[in-house]
Amino acid sequence: MGSSNNNNNGSSNTQDEAASLPSPEHLAKATKRLSNKERLKSFLQLFKRSDRVLVVIVADPDSMASAFAIKRILSRRVDEVTIVHTNKIDRVNNLAMRDFLKIPIQPLRGTKRDSFSKFILVDGQPPHNSNLESITYDAVIDHHPVTQGWHAQFVDIRPEYGATASMLTEYLKAASIKPSVALATALFYGIKVDTQNFTKKAVYSDVLCFQYLFKRINQQLLNKIETSDIRKAELKYFKSALQSMKISKKRIYVHLGQVTNPDILVIVADFFTHVHDMGWVIVSGQYGKKLVVIFRCDGYKKDAGKLAARVFGKVGSAGGHRQSARAEIPCENLPDVDRVSFSTNTLHRLIVKHLV
C-alpha cells in the first residue's frame, strides 16, 4: 500500500491497494514470529522523516498509555505525532490519567485528517467501533482477537497478551528507550487496568513488563489516578441498578435506561462482579441513539466476547475478551417493541436464548 497517499478520502485507489494486502490474521501471525527488535524495525520502516502521524484510539488507560509510548518512539523520527480519541473522555479515572500524566490527546472530530500522511490504530481494530472504520490505517497494534474486513501494511496483534501497553513496553525496550516517569506510570496503569491486577488472562511478558515499569513509576500519581473513580452525580445509577436488577441462574441483568455517560455502565458492571457466586453480569443503558451493553464473566468455560457477538453482532458492533466485552447497537436497529420499552426484562430475554 502506498502509505504516503493514504488520505482516507474513500478513493477506490486507496481501497484497491489496501485490499491487495494479506489478511490481518496472516500479517499478525508473521509479525508474531519476529523478535522484539525485528518487530520494531519492521514498524519503523513505515515512516520517513517528513511524515505527520495520526495515532487513533478509543480512549481508556491501555490505549492512552500505548499511544503515549508510540509518540515517544516516533518523536525523533518523524515530523509530528498527534494522538486523537474517537470517544468522549468522561470516566473520572481516564480524565485523571490524562491530566496528571500530561498525555497530549485531542478529539478526532475537528482534526484535519488530510494534513497527516500516516495513520496508526492502537489497542483496537476498525470493526470494534464505527468511528474507527472511516480511516485506512498503515499500522494496527492491538491485543484483542483478530477481526476481518480491513487491511494495514503493518499488523501486530497478540490476543494472548493482557494489555497493549505490555506490547509497547517491549517496543520501548527494543528501541533502548527508557520511559519517563509519566510514560512508565501510564503504561504500568494500563497493564494493571486491562489485566485487572492479573486476575484476567495475561502472559509472562505482561508480568515482566509490569516489573520493569514498577521501578520507574510515580506511586503518588498512580494513587491519585486510581482513587478518582466516581462522581457524586453518578451515585444515582447504583440505586437504579439495585432496584432494577434481575438475578437468574447465577446471572445478573441490569438495564439503566438513559445514561449521560456510557462509562457508568462499565463501573456498575464491574461493581456487580464482586457479588459472590455470579457467573455473568450484563449491564445495558441507552446513550444518545445507541444501546450500549457491557458483558462481564469469570471466563471459565465462558466467553463474553463471543456472547456479545452472537447476541448483537448482526445489529451493531460487538466483541471483546473472554471475561469482558461490549456491544453498541443503534437504537434504530432494534425491533420497534424493544426500542420503545427496553428494560431489564428485555435484556434478559435477548441474552438468555444465546446462553448454553
Name the band, by pLDDT with cuts 50, 70 and 90, for residue 299.
Answer: confident
In a 3-state reduction of DSSP, which class is residue 287? strand
Q: Is the pLDDT of residue 14 over 60?
A: no
Give me the pLDDT at residue 229, please: 77
pTM of the predicted protein model: 0.69
- Asked whether residue 192 falls in the same domain as residue 103, the answer is yes
Interval 94-123 mean pLDDT: 95
Task: Give the domain-ending residue among 162, 194, 226.
Answer: 226
Taking the C-alpha atoms of residue 179 and residue 188, their distance in angstroms, rounded to an integer, is 11
Do 208 and 270 share a structural domain?
no
Report the C-alpha gap between 295 and 280 in whole angstroms: 7
pLDDT average, residue stretch 132-159: 94
Do 188 and 145 share a structural domain?
yes
Q: Are strands 324-330 and 290-297 parallel, antiparallel or unpaired?
A: antiparallel
181: three-class secondary structure by DSSP = helix
What residue numbers bound the domain in which 14 lies? 3-226
Contacts of 220 (CB under 8 A, 6+ apart): none
Same domain, 121 and 165: yes
For residues 269 and 319, state if they share a domain: yes
CATH number of the domain to which 245 belongs: 3.10.310.40
Judge if 213 and 287 occupy the same domain. Answer: no
**Among 192, 226, 260, residue at a domain's last position:** 226
> Both 282 and 207 in a single domain?
no
Helix (H, G, I), strand (E, B) or coil at 142: strand
Q: Within 13 Å and on the Cβ side, how many CA atoms surround 6?
A: 26
Q: Are residues 10 and 64 in the same domain?
A: yes
- Read off the pLDDT of each residue in 269-286 and give the average, rounded to a whole number: 95
* Residue 205's CATH number: 3.90.1640.10
pLDDT tens for 191-223 read 999 998 998 889 999 999 999 999 999 999 999
How many domains, in total, are found in the chain?
A: 2
pLDDT of 196 reads 87
In the predicted structure, residue 274 carries a pLDDT above the cut 70: yes
- Pair (220, 158) in one structural domain: yes
Q: Which of 317, 36, 292, 327 is nearest to 161 (CA)?
A: 36
Mean of the pLDDT values across residues 242-247? 96
Phi, psi of 248 (to 5 degrees): -150, 125
Q: Which of 194, 226, 258 is the last residue of a domain?
A: 226
pLDDT of residue 328: 94
Residues 48 and 162 in one domain: yes
The answer to whether 138 touches 31, Cβ cutoff 8 Å, is no
Q: Are 187 and 318 found together in one domain?
A: no
**Separation of alpha carbons 91 and 207, rounded Å:** 26
Let me know the angle formed at the C-alpha of 29 by 43 and 325, rounded to the nearest 5 degrees: 95
Same domain, 240 and 311: yes
